Chains A and B, each alone.
Chain A
Amino acid sequence: MSTPLIELDNIEKHFGPVIALNGVSVSVNAGECHCLLGDNGAGKSTFIKTMSGVHKPTGGRILVEGKEVKFDSPRDAMEAGIATVYQDLAMIPLMSVTRNFWMGREPQKRFGPFKFFDFATANEVTMSEMARMGIHLRSADQAVGTLSGGERQTVAISRAVYFGAKVLILDEPTSALGVRQTSNVLATIDKVRKKGIGVVFITHNVRHAMAVGDRFTVLNRGKTLGTAARGDIKAEELQEMMAGGQDLAELEGSLGGTV
């Protein structure tokens, strides 16, 4: 196996007296979808924020393609090819798809001494990138607010991919979506993975994880409970680990295995 794209080794993060992460280790290989599962409060958000440069870890090492790195800001992480798509902060609904897609990296066209936003190029690229992900826009200048939640996530994902992400972190991309939209997002994750990008898929929904995941890591109370490859573990086991054992086993019986 080649060197992982990113490897986080025994990461600890303390906020004053609170220990949010107490030894989390995860690695992501090229072209794999690594699912990070955990219940609310397990430390998923803190962990991805550490990975994307928002928080600095209190202890542990981050290795990008085998080399140890320190991220001082989200910008550093982005330059190292680590892109994060946040659940709520993916897009600005009042702005057009093109304006959102290129936000912060607008292509420019020189006209005499002035530089203008090159809308012709920007619209064309946006349309074709979206079509590649299976979304057909009416026009690139329609507002993101007119898109569904799943489509918005897809715009954010294809933006990250277009701008050269090597590792894509998705923060609960399916948690607020309906069935159709969820399957669209899962299909998008599959397409991204096939391009050789490493995907970190954060979720608390085991079924969504099982649908696309290659490896699964369960977080509980700030620690990794272990990583398992696809086929080595059953959905029920994952579910149980996430919930921390017994309690759910009793529930499971009364709910008939529906959770």
Chain B
Amino acid sequence: MADTTQQAAVPDKDERVREMSPLRKALIRPELGAICGTILVFFFFIAIARDSGMFAPEGIVNWGTVSAQFAIIAVGACLLMIAGEFDLSVGSMIGFSGIIIALMTVQWGYPTWFAIIVAFMLAMAIGALNGYLVIKTGLPSFIVTLAFLYILRGLTIFISIATTRKTIIGGVREVSEGDPLAGLFGGKVLSGVFVWLADLGIVGKFVAGPRAGQPVVDGVPMLMVWALALIIFGHILLTRTRFGNWIFAAGGDTQAARYVGVPVNRVKILMFMFSAMCATVFATCQVMEFGSAAADRGLLKEFEAIISVVIGGALLTGGYGSVVGAALGALIFGVVQQGLFFAGVESSLFRVFLGVILLLAVILNTYIRRMITGER
């Protein structure tokens, strides 16, 4: 019975609803601004820096690594921003986690895997505290996490100086030799593939020096693997799961979400913890790669993460955005920063270029978002 009325009802279309062409429908998506930006940036650098080695394998690894760094923290910032909150303590968290790992391993002699686990647990506990304070006090997360930006940075420098009388702690690589978790953050994968590619002549080989005969690119850094894994995880979580719907709802309208039974507080606190976790992934990769930690690492990273997310089409006030967009934003960021270096352009122009891209992307994004959501 219900089916017959349904069949009768569906075919007559509302004359007020204009048909949308499939092409237009495919184009109109939150990431469109970031996709255009990425294409533009690549064209620009192919035009001005083609012969600089920027698009040779070692060049790609160079800007790919920088982009991956941005992407790791951008995924955390993106999900949190869609849930309607900010985390300005990301940069300080990177410094803090790094120093914790270095102190525990080099200074106090704990195994690296243990130090990494402790750093993750501490960071996520601080993330949860951030979220708890935001929810309990009702203050804007902007203020609460700004306080933690200073608290964490100050604490990090203090702990580092109080225990070692230095702000840079080296020697992590030596003590982490053969550690099961260290390789997960600092190593490289697919080395065999690059040896094979080098034998085929696709990737160059060192011709002199101690590494003569080895490929110039000896593998994909774990940093990139982490970035890719976090992007895929974040994208699926946001667009394909029940929890993802709750993230959108929590940021879109807290009260409306609560009325239909979405556990808004839990969603927000978990997103603060996820953001802190991403910061720690970044810190751990960096410590393992450099073999040292410094108390001033991660300075201004919170803003770079937020910029990537906004270039990617997210709404600053929450409820709208895309992880893929944020990842493309991070890619634009990395390509521009390293590309200007390859092109031999004065590096101070990087900021000018970035500001212009930010402005263009946000204008385009606002326009696209209005088309999608009917917002006025």
Instruction: Show the binding face of A for B, using Cβ within 8 Å.
Output: 74-75, 78, 84, 86, 89-95, 99, 102-106, 108, 115-117, 119, 127-128, 131-132, 134-138, 143, 145-147
Contact = CB atoms under 8 A, between A and B. Distances in A.
Contacts of A128: 6, 10
A94 B19 CA distance: 21
Contacts of B245: 95, 99, 102-103, 106, 117
B261 A104 contact: yes
B244 interface: yes
A138 B374 contact: no
Given A95-B252, A103-B262, A132-B9, A117 B240 contact: yes
B241 interface: yes
B21 interface: no
B255 interface: yes
Given A94-B315, A132-B5, A143-B372, A75 B261 contact: yes
B20 interface: yes
B14 A136 contact: yes
A89 B260 CA distance: 10
B12 A136 contact: yes
Contacts, number: 97
A93 B375 CA distance: 8
26 contacts: A78-B261, A86-B256, A86-B259, A90-B256, A92-B249, A92-B319, A94-B248, A94-B252, A94-B315, A94-B319, A94-B373, A95-B249, A99-B245, A103-B260, A104-B260, A104-B261, A105-B261, A115-B241, A117-B240, A127-B10, A128-B6, A131-B9, A136-B12, A136-B17, A138-B19, A145-B374
A93 B248 CA distance: 11
A58 to B, nearest CB: 23
Most buried by A among B253, B260, B374: B260
A150 B39 CA distance: 41
Contacts of B13: 136
A143 B374 contact: yes
Contact of B256 (A89, A106, A135, A147): A89
- Ranked nearest first, the 7 interchain pairs of A and B with the lowest CB-CB distance are A146-B374, A92-B252, A145-B374, A104-B260, A145-B373, A106-B242, A143-B373
B320 interface: yes
Interface string B220-261: 000000000000000010001110111011001101110111
Nearest to B257: A103
Most buried by A among B6, B256, B261, B315: B256
A146 B9 contact: no
Given A92-B249, A135-B14, A136-B13, 4 more contacts: A94-B252, A94-B375, A95-B319, A104-B257
Contacts of A84: 259
A64 B249 CA distance: 31
A132 B259 CA distance: 25
Contacts of B373: 93-94, 143, 145-146
Nearest to B25: A139
Most buried by A among B9, B13, B245: B245
Nearest to B6: A128
A145 B256 CA distance: 15
B372 to A, nearest CB: 6
Contacts of A147: 374
Contacts of A134: 9
A103 B241 contact: no
Contacts of A119: 240
A106 B245 CA distance: 8
B259 A92 contact: no
Contacts of B6: 128, 131-132
Contacts of B240: 116-117, 119
Nearest to A135: B14
A84 B258 CA distance: 13
A95 B248 contact: yes
A49 to B, nearest CB: 11
Most buried by A among B244, B246, B253, B375: B253
A123 B262 CA distance: 20
Contacts of B20: 138
A95 to B, nearest CB: 5
A51 to B, nearest CB: 14
A86 B320 CA distance: 23
B259 A89 contact: yes
Most buried by B among A108, A117, A134: A117
A138 B261 CA distance: 28
Contacts of A78: 261
A119 B236 CA distance: 13
A103 B375 contact: no
Contacts of B2: 132
Nearest to A133: B9
A254 B357 CA distance: 63
Given A143-B374, A145-B375, A147-B374, A74 B242 contact: no
